[in-house]
Chain A
């Protein structure tokens, strides 16, 4: 009954590969996000989707492509992985109409590019 789940939890891959991370939320929220947390622990937003529509797209290389098949899922596909992509990627969701719009985070996907 996990609220926001991500797969895989760990991902070790070679430079140049293409990989995907999946995210699902069962909270009925209408907004989902991808964040990247680097080695210095800064958590930065990458993308936000509201009801399957992209609403925030930060300055992220176009090797990163989010896809939202429905409002409960937001997947992240990364092409041509680079060493600098190594980080923890968190998915999150929120309900836009809630008063303080609390974001609920998934457990994270630890990506290591070798």
Chain B
């Protein structure tokens, strides 16, 4: 079983749609959680950290459920520029970042 699992997609949505990505992780001792974004043929960039209480940054909302070992990312009012691969990332107790395979999002006009 992979340490971090995501639905690879692709998710094809129209502009303005709300889309949700899910992620599960296997190591209950994981310490920190993040969503990174990777554009085609570019490097990953931090989108947002994920906190236990849930957190929001504009149109993006991240949730963490430690009991279920589940992380989510909600994008409201999708824009064309949101098209990218979204990587669920977990830091384990050794300090390593473990990346999920990524979920590909394509927002169409």
Could you tell me which A residues sit within 8 Å of B by CB distance?
A: 40-45, 48, 55-56, 90, 100-103, 105-108
Beta-carbon contact of B49 and A107 below 8 Å? no
In the assembled complex, 16 residue pairs joining A and B whose CB atoms fall closer than 8 Å, in A order, are A40-B101, A41-B101, A42-B99, A42-B101, A43-B99, A44-B99, A45-B97, A48-B95, A48-B96, A56-B95, A100-B32, A102-B46, A103-B97, A107-B43, A108-B42, A108-B43
A100 to B36, CA, bound (A): 13
Beta-carbon contact of B44 and A105 below 8 Å? yes
Interface size class of B (residues with CB under 8 A): 10 to 19
Nearest CB to that of B100 among chain A residues?
Answer: A42
List A contacts of B97 (CB < 8 A): 45, 103
Beta-carbon contact of A41 and B85 below 8 Å? yes
Beta-carbon contact of A100 and B49 below 8 Å? yes
List B contacts of A106 (CB < 8 A): 43
The 3 closest A-B CB pairs, nearest first, are: A105-B43, A43-B99, A100-B49
Residues facing A in B9-59 (CB within 8 A) are 32, 34, 42-46, 49
A91 to B13, CA, bound (A): 32
A45 to B42, CA, bound (A): 17
Nearest CB to that of B4 among chain A residues?
Answer: A42
CB distance from A106 to the nearest CB of B (A): 6
